[in-house]
Amino acid sequence: MPLETPVTVLVGENGTGKSTFMEALAIAAKLPAVGSSRLETDKTLMAQRRLVNRLRLMWRGRTHRGFFLRAEDFFGFQKQLASMRAEHEAEVARIDRDLAGSSNYARTLAKGPHRASIGQMEGRYGRNPDAASHGEAFLNLFAQRLVPQGLFLLDEPEAALSPQSQLGFLAMIRESVRTGSQFVIATHSPILMAIPGATIYSFDNGAVSPVGFDDLESVTLVRDFLQAPERYLRRIWEDQE
């Protein structure tokens, strides 16, 4: 399956193999996974590692930059950041209690490593990323980790993004493509499917095949629903009654 355009979009119903392929591709490309354990040793990815043995990657220009990001790993990463910050803040409070009789200089030295860690997290992910919306936190995380000429594999990134945030996400992809980066995105979002110039592969019907944006069933369904939502909703409500 050629991935020749700057953006390749993978579509299909759940269970058709999009995520399995993405995980295997990330392992084969030796990309780090954001917010999860190492893909090479993750015990839940045995089937994906078997698939890797059947993949043969051919590069026009090999890159070791980039990352693999799954929606569920992003939410886990947010919790991990909040937990790490809470631990450092708890240590700062403990030092103040335990060294209450010491000089300010001694307390400052003892708290230094924890203050530095908190400062690094704030500098990279914001002062309180847990208080930001998931969309804001996702876009900030994404922006911080984008590098020129990178390969970025994204599995259902729309899970953290509102429609408006998805448009901002598209703008970030466009700027990154201009620096020579490449994206492979598995998605259910018609907004992300509409990326100009993207190659779209469908995993439906037991085969992987290229498909045009206007030929996607999900796009047709959303268009029809937005034009006459009452028709679809009336049918659902009548069926339930």
Interval 99-148: pLDDT, tens:
888 888 888 888 888 888 877 766 665 665 554 556 677 787 788 778 88
Let me know: does 222 contact 192? Beta carbons within 8 Å.
Answer: no
155, β-bridge pairs? 70, 186
Strands 66-70 and 182-186: unpaired
Answer yes or no: do 42 and 144 share one domain. yes
Question: Do 159 and 220 sit in the same domain of this protein?
Answer: yes
153 forms beta bridges with 68, 184
The whole-number pLDDT of residue 131 equals 46
For residue 175, the model assigns a pLDDT of: 93
**Per the structure block, which two tokens stand in for 159?**
């899970």
Could you tell me if residue 1 is inside a domain?
A: no
Whether the model clears a pTM of 0.75, i.e. scores above it, the answer is: no
Give the sheet arrangement for strand 182-186, strand by strand.
Answer: 66-70, 151-155, 182-186, 7-11, 199-202, 209-210
CA-CA distance, 117 to 122, in Å (whole number)?
9
121 lies in the same domain as 232: no
d(CA 139, CA 135): 6
**In this structure, what token pair is assigned to residue 210?**
């290229």
Split into its structural domains, the chain has a count of: 2
Host domain of residue 29: 7-74+133-240
CATH code, 190: 3.40.50
Indicate if 141 and 225 belong to the same structural domain: yes
